[in-house]
Structure 1
């Protein structure tokens, strides 16, 4: 009985540590993400939109693939990822949401 309690505690601890590590990596600065992590980070970044969500995810994934970083939150915080925040379209608006 004691072994199963210990094992359950260790599994729970591992899951908590994994979730904390994932949250930190999403806003860890440039180069902190891998390309495989970009879709999840961009889904979170674009989650508050109702209109234009597909375009937001498309452009966010393009920016993340280049910069390997997505700022935390659903807007702002561009200082966390200078590459992401400084990329502009030729017409003027930012490339990255």
Structure 2
């Protein structure tokens, strides 16, 4: 009985660690793309925050540090509560 419990525990540990790596992979992609996008921003922490939110939802970030939003329509079309563009 102890062997079965130990085996189940080990299997659950392996599965949970592989799921954790999968979820973190997307955020590192967004972090790197948003790092480039916000590299010249005057308020970098705010730029990185909103770019990260937009990237997670849209799964893309326009290339370059400014403009090019036509490359990612979801990113371009996101609006804040005041109707202004949400994504930097």
The answer to whether the superposition gives a TM-score over 0.5 is: yes
Of structures 1 and 2, the one scoring higher in RCO (CA 8 A, sep 6+) is 1
Consecutive aligned runs of 4 or more in structure 1 exceeding 4 Å deviation = none
Supply the RMSD in Å over aligned alpha carbons.
1.5
* Structure holding more helix per residue: 2
TM-score, with length taken from structure 2:
0.67
TM-score, with length taken from structure 1:
0.62
Gaps of at least 5 residues in structure 2 are: 1-25
Per the alignment, residue 45 of structure 1 pairs with 37
Gaps of at least 5 residues in structure 1 are: 1-33
Which structure has the bigger radius of gyration? 2
Give the whole-Å Cα distance in 1 for the aligned partners of 2:35 and 2:55.
Answer: 12
Aligned residues: 64
Residue 78 of structure 1, aligned match among 52, 56, 69: 69
